[in-house]
Structure 1
Amino acid sequence: MKYLLLFLSLTATFGVVLAQNSFPAVTTETIHGETVNVPGAFEGSFVLIGVGTGKKAEDDLKTWQVPIYNKFIAKTGLMDGLYDVKVCFLPLFTGAMKMAKNQVVQKLQENNEKLVLDHVYVYSGEREPFIDFGIEDKKQPYFYLLNPKGEIVWKGVGAFKQSYFDRMEEILSQ
């Protein structure tokens, strides 16, 4: 009986650790209305996923746009061409915010650069997959770097910091 309890305890703990290493699989929509499964659509590549959880996170989220665009989309830096990283900006529309989705998408189209828009995947649905994953604070954005197997290899929260990119470069260079 002791061994059974120990086994069940270890199995449950191992399952929690594995669950936290995988980004929640969700169905999203591009700005153009195409359905995309995130993170499954990026399997086989590194992907940086930025999750916007609420209006209050918008300012911090914007601090990431230019650095991410320059490094992973336009690849303007000397060594940036070495990194094959897909980019996914993922605004969440849950609860009462689901009704504002279309207005926000229209605002994104009016205010953002066309090149960044191609990397926006809108989620409209239940909040539970993200709460269970640890995304709770609507005042800040969350960023995750997933390896080609879909495992989380780096996490950042809040406004952009150069140290975040330094750590990502270390991971990508291995």
Structure 2
Amino acid sequence: MKTLFNLISFILLLFVIFPAFGQINEKFPTVETEKVTGEIVEIPSAFAGKFILIGVGTSKKAEDQLQTWQNPLYQKFVAKTGLMDDMFNVELCFLPLFTGASQLAKDKVIEKIQENNEALVIDNVYVYAGNREPFTAIGIDDRSEPYFYLLDKSGTIVWTASGGFKQKYFDQIEEILTR
């Protein structure tokens, strides 16, 4: 009986863990986005040959958690304020998704971002409006959480997380970048 319980527990654990790690070694979907400046950019091919950290948000609730990442990411990968941060060459991409009826709000959100005038936000926001399917294929299914993907130089997902920022995520990312 105990063995059966352990087996069932293990299987349930796999179902809980699998969604978080199922996208590793998959290609990030190629999508056309729009920068706040109006420039059209194809993600991730515009960053070919570079590591890129993409934060994807699909709702206001996800946006609040996404913002917990902004300052730490800026300090680490843009301002490079840490002792060893100069050794990391990672492009940042904040990718709000507008799918279905929410596509109507895209222009209003872009205006709001333009009013913000923070360099990190303006320079690193790529807005997607279109079909949701490319993103469900890589596990984006909970609209209340942001999703983060570290892509290698070929656009392959090598790390993923969801939710608010945690310091341990930097440790995991640094380990990948220093291999």
Cα deviations by residue, 1:37-63 (Å, 9 ceiling, x for unpaired): 000111100000000111110110000
Q: CA deviation at 1:111?
A: 2.7
**RMSD across aligned C-alpha pairs, in angstroms?**
1.5
SS in 2 for 1:32: coil
Q: Distance in 2 between matches of 1:130 and 1:93?
A: 11
How is 1:58-69 mapped onto 2 (pairs within 5 angstroms)? 58-69=63-74
- C-alpha change, 1:20 and 1:170, in structure 2 (3 Å) is closer
Q: CA deviation at 1:132?
A: 2.1
Structure 2 gap ranges (5+): 1-21
Q: Distance in 2 between matches of 1:48 and 1:115?
A: 13
- C-alpha change, 1:163 and 1:143, in structure 2 (3 Å) is same
Counterpart of 1:96 in structure 2 is 101
Q: Distance in 1 between matches of 2:120 and 2:159?
A: 25
Equivalent residue in structure 1 for 2:78, among 73, 76, 97: 73
Q: Distance in 2 between matches of 1:19 and 1:65?
A: 23
**Letter aligned with residue 54 of structure 1:** S
Equivalent residue in structure 2 for 1:151, among 151, 156, 159: 156
Tell me, yes or no, if structure 1 residue 82 matches structure 2 residue 87. Answer: yes
Counterpart of 1:7 in structure 2 is none
**Letter aligned with residue 136 of structure 1:** D
- C-alpha change, 1:112 and 1:135, in structure 2 (3 Å) is farther
Q: CA deviation at 1:18?
A: 8.5
Q: CA deviation at 1:73?
A: 1.1
How many residue pairs are counted as aligned between the two chains? 158
Counterpart of 1:46 in structure 2 is 51
Contact kept in structure 1, 2:23 and 2:157, CA below 8 Å? no
Contact kept in structure 2, 1:43 and 1:150, CA below 8 Å? yes
Tell me, yes or no, if structure 1 residue 173 matches structure 2 residue 153. Answer: no
Which aligned runs of 4 or more in structure 1 are off by greater than 3 angstroms? 17-20
Contact kept in structure 2, 1:20 and 1:133, CA below 8 Å? no
How is 1:3-152 mapped onto 2 (pairs within 5 angstroms)? 21-111=26-116, 113-152=118-157
Structure 1 gap ranges (5+): 1-16
Q: Distance in 2 between matches of 1:38 and 1:65?
A: 20
- C-alpha change, 1:96 and 1:64, in structure 2 (3 Å) is same
- C-alpha change, 1:57 and 1:18, in structure 2 (3 Å) is closer
Structure 2 length-normalised TM: 0.84
Structure 1 length-normalised TM: 0.87
